[in-house]
Structure 1
Amino acid sequence: MKLRIEDNTLRLRLSDAEVQEFAATGRVAAAVHFGDAAGQQLTYMLERAVVPAVRVRYAPGALTVLVPAALADAWTATDQNGFSEHVALADAQQLRILVEKDLDCRH
């Protein structure tokens, strides 16, 4: 799964295998390691959840994009390439979230 962060935009691109894993289990995760000590990593994941709209959960070292079950099921079961949402943040800011299929990717 590819992660791209730019300004207030978070973009996840999933390979075909990752889309299939998400459809089957409701979760797909990846990690970026930054050092040689335990815990020096960022784990990022996409998770099907009981939420009214797309949400983001952040904790030190972990970033989770929560997707409503109906949206997750519709996205994985069709040829719809992706979806995007704007999540309200503090100080009247917004985070744009994009989740896309990266089906041409061969990794």
Structure 2
Amino acid sequence: MKIRIKGNSLRYRLTKTDVERFDTNGYLEESTHFGAKVFKYALQRSTNDTLTAGFDDDTITMYMPVTMALEWASTDLVGYENNTGPMYLLIEKDFKCLDNIAEDQSDNYPNPLSFKV
């Protein structure tokens, strides 16, 4: 799972394995160590009606409604967004880049643009 934060915008991108784990467990978490401190970001299924997010105990958690989570994991749907609050939220499946990059992309979803002629 990757995170991107810019101003009041939060985006999560998940690989195939991330989506499978989230579908199975209803929770997914990553962490980054900054010396003695640990920053975490997580995705959690919730009973909310919309995509929401919170920040507690050095952890950003994006909450995804159960119905969204189930549909997202079982279809080709790319993602969901919520731009109705003070923070723009986006969660999406991570596609393979069209450019050559050194990052391992073997677990990413096929990029739909790579099939266009």
TM-score (normalised: structure 1): 0.85
Matched residue SS, 2:87: strand
Deviation at residue 72 of structure 1 after TM alignment = 0.8
Of 100, 103, 106, the match for 2:92: 100
Where does the alignment leave 5 or more consecutive residues of structure 2 unmatched?
97-104, 108-117
Deviation at residue 86 of structure 1 after TM alignment = 2.1
Where does residue 67 of structure 1 map in the other structure?
64
The percentage of counterpart residues that share the same residue type is 30
Where does residue 91 of structure 1 map in the other structure?
none
Where does the alignment leave 5 or more consecutive residues of structure 1 unmatched?
89-93
TM-score (normalised: structure 2): 0.79
Name the stretch that deviates more: 7-16 or 79-88: 79-88
Higher strand share: 1
The ranges of structure 1 where at least 4 consecutive aligned residues each deviate by more than 4 angstroms after the TM superposition are none
Checking the alignment, whether the CA contact within 8 Å between 1:29 and 1:43 is kept in structure 2 is yes
Output the CA distance in 2 between the equivalents of 1:63 and 1:71.
Answer: 19
